[in-house]
Amino acid sequence: MNSASPAPNQDALQKKPWHKRIKWDWTLLAVLAPLTLVLSLVFQDQGRRAGKVTWEFFLEMLVIFPAVLIIMGLFAVWVSREKVVKYLGEGSGIRGLVLSMLLGALPTGPLYIAFPMGAMLLKKGARVANVMAFLSAWACIKIPQELMEFQFMGWKFALTRLSITIVLVGILCLIAEWIYNRIPEKADKSKSAGQT
Amino acid sequence: MMSLTAIVINLLVAVALVASVLKDRNKTALALKVAWNALKRLGPSVLVVIIIIGLFLGFIPEDWIAGIIGSRSGILGVLVSAFLGSILFIPAILAFPLGASLLESGASIMSVAAFITTLTMVGFVFIPVEIKELGKKFTVLRNGLSLIAALIVAVLMGLIL
C-alpha cells in the first residue's frame, strides 16, 4: 500500500476488491481441517459422526465431480461465447425466451462472466426479457450445475425445481421488461450510450 | 456406492467425451486442460464445503437447524434461507451438496429450495459488477425478480413435494 500511489494505481486497487486478494478457499481449508481434527478428538462421538458424513459426501463427490469438470471443459471448447452471442439476439416472443434460456444453460463460467455478454446484447438491440432470461438460465439452470443437483438432491427434487424455475423465470422476465421500459433511465451514467 | 444417477451421468459424459475425441483430438485435449484447471480452481472449495458439511451434521444438534429452517419455522425459515443464499458467495455447483446436507439435518424442502435458488441466482457480491455492465435499473430488476422467483419456487416446491 504505497501512500503516494498515482491515480491509475489506485484505480487498479479499486478494481481488485479486498475479498479477491485473499485466497479464501485455501485459508478456510487451513483453518477448518485442523479445527475439525481437534474437535473430533475432544468430542469423540460427534467426531465419529462428522467423519462418517464427511467421508460419505466425499465419495458422492468423487463419483460425480470428474464428470462435471469434463462437461465444463467440453462446453468451453465446443460452445464459444461468440457463437452464443450470435444466436442470442435472434428469435422473438416465446421462441426468443426459450432460445435465450437454452443458450444460457450451455456455457460455463461464473455469472459475472455473463454480464458483459448481456451488456453487449442490450447494446445490439436484443430484448430486455431475452437478456434477463439468458442471465437467469446462466445462473440457475446451467448443465454442469444440474448434474450436481441430480446427484445430490435426487431426480424428483431437481426436475420439480427445474420446471417451476423455467416457467417462472420466463414470466418474470417479461414482467421485468415491462417495468424496465417504463422507468426513465436517469441517474444511470454507466450506460447512457443510446439514451437521451 | 455409485447411485443410478451417477452411473447415468457418467455414461452420458463418457459418450460426449468419445464423440469429442472422434471429432477433434486437439480440441478434446484442450477441453481436458480446461477441466484440470477448473479442478485446481474449485478443488479447495469443494474440500472446504465437505468439511463444513461434516462439522455441520456432526456437531450441530439437528433440532437447532430444524428449529431455524425446518418445516415448523414456515415462511420465516424460507426468508432466512433466501437471505443466506443471497449474501453467501459460493461456487454454484457447491450449492447442491450444501442443500443436501441441510435437508439431511432437518431443514424443510421449502427452505432448501429457497437457499439453492437464491445462492445461484441472486449475487449481492456481484451487484457492483452487474451495475457497471448492465446499469442500475437492470440490476435492481433482475436481482429483485430473482429473489421473488426464489420465494415462489420455494413455496411451490413445499406444496408439491
Contacts of A32 in chain B (CB under 8 A): 48, 51-52, 55
Same domain? For B44 and B8 the reply is: yes
What's the confidence (pLDDT) of residue B57?
A: 85
Look up cell 420446471; give the residue: A163
Same domain? For B71 and B138 the reply is: yes
Same domain? For B78 and B150 the reply is: yes
What's the confidence (pLDDT) of residue A87?
A: 78
Burial of A186 (0-12, 13-18, 19+ CB in 10 A): exposed
Q: Is A196 a domain residue?
A: no
Other Cβ atoms closer than 10 A to A62: 12
Same domain? For B73 and B20 the reply is: no
Give the range of the structural domain holding residue B42, as residue numbers without chain letter: 1-51
Same domain? For B37 and B110 the reply is: no
In the predicted structure, residue A45 carries a pLDDT above the cut 70: yes
Q: Look at B96 and A67 and tell me if their CB atoms are within 8 Å.
A: no
In the predicted structure, residue A18 carries a pLDDT above the cut 70: no
CB A148 within 8 A of CB A68: yes
What is residue A134's three-state secondary structure? helix
Domain final position from B9, B29, B51: B51
Same domain? For B146 and B77 the reply is: yes
Q: Which of B99, B118, B110 is nearest to B75 (CA)?
A: B110
What's the confidence (pLDDT) of residue A15?
A: 59
Same domain? For B88 and B108 the reply is: yes
Q: Is A195 a domain residue?
A: no
Chain A interface, mutation test: which of B3, B46, B129, B133, most A Cβ atoms within 10 Å? B133
What's the total number of domains in chain B? Answer: 2
Q: Which of B160, B152, B161 is nearest to B75 (CA)?
A: B152
Instruction: Name the more confident of A196 and A24.
Output: A24
Give the range of the structural domain holding residue A150, as residue numbers without chain letter: 7-186
Q: Is A1 a domain residue?
A: no
ipTM: 0.87
A19, A51, A160: residue with CB nearest B161: A160
Q: Look at B45 and A25 and tell me if their CB atoms are within 8 Å.
A: yes
Q: Is A124 a domain residue?
A: yes
Q: Look at B101 and A53 and tell me if their CB atoms are within 8 Å.
A: yes
Chain B interface, mutation test: which of A165, A177, A180, A195, most B Cβ atoms within 10 Å? A165
Instruction: Name the more confident of A190 and B76.
Output: B76
* pLDDT per residue rounded down to tens, chain B (161 residues): 568 888 999 999 999 999 999 999 999 999 999 999 989 988 888 898 899 888 888 888 878 888 888 878 788 889 999 999 998 878 888 899 999 999 988 899 999 999 999 998 888 888 988 999 999 999 999 999 999 999 999 999 999 98
What's the confidence (pLDDT) of residue B60?
A: 84
The CA radius of gyration of chain A, in Å to the nearest whole number, is 22
Mean pLDDT of A53-70: 90
What's the confidence (pLDDT) of residue B49?
A: 87
Q: Is A14 a domain residue?
A: yes
CA distance B84 to A96: 33
What's the total number of domains in chain A? Answer: 1
Cell of B89: 458467495
Same domain? For B43 and B1 the reply is: yes
Contacts of A52 in chain B (CB under 8 A): 58
Q: How far is A187 from chain B (nearest CA, A)?
A: 9
> Residues B56, A17, A139, B12: is their CA dihedral positive or negative?
negative
In the predicted structure, residue A187 carries a pLDDT above the cut 70: no
Q: How far is A3 from chain B (nearest CA, A)?
A: 25
Same domain? For B30 and B64 the reply is: no
Q: Which of A139, A144, A149 is nearest to A60 (CA)?
A: A149
In the predicted structure, residue A4 carries a pLDDT above the cut 50: no
Chain B interface, mutation test: which of A25, A35, A55, most B Cβ atoms within 10 Å? A25
Task: Assign A91 a pLDDT band (cuts: 50, 70, 90).
Answer: low
Q: Look at A156 and B136 and tell me if their CB atoms are within 8 Å.
A: no
Q: Look at B130 and A172 and tell me if their CB atoms are within 8 Å.
A: no
- Work out the mean pLDDT of chain A and round it to a whole number: 81
Same domain? For B67 and B119 the reply is: yes
Same domain? For B33 and B12 the reply is: yes
Same domain? For B115 and B148 the reply is: yes
CA distance A74 to A87: 19
CB A25 within 8 A of CB B45: yes
Look up cell 478443488; give the residue: B43
CA distance B3 to B25: 31
pLDDT digits (tens, 9 = 90+) for A121-172: 888 888 899 999 999 999 888 898 899 999 999 999 999 999 999 999 999 9
Mean pLDDT of A8-25: 61
Q: Is A21 a domain residue?
A: yes
What's the confidence (pLDDT) of residue B92?
A: 80
Q: Is A193 a domain residue?
A: no
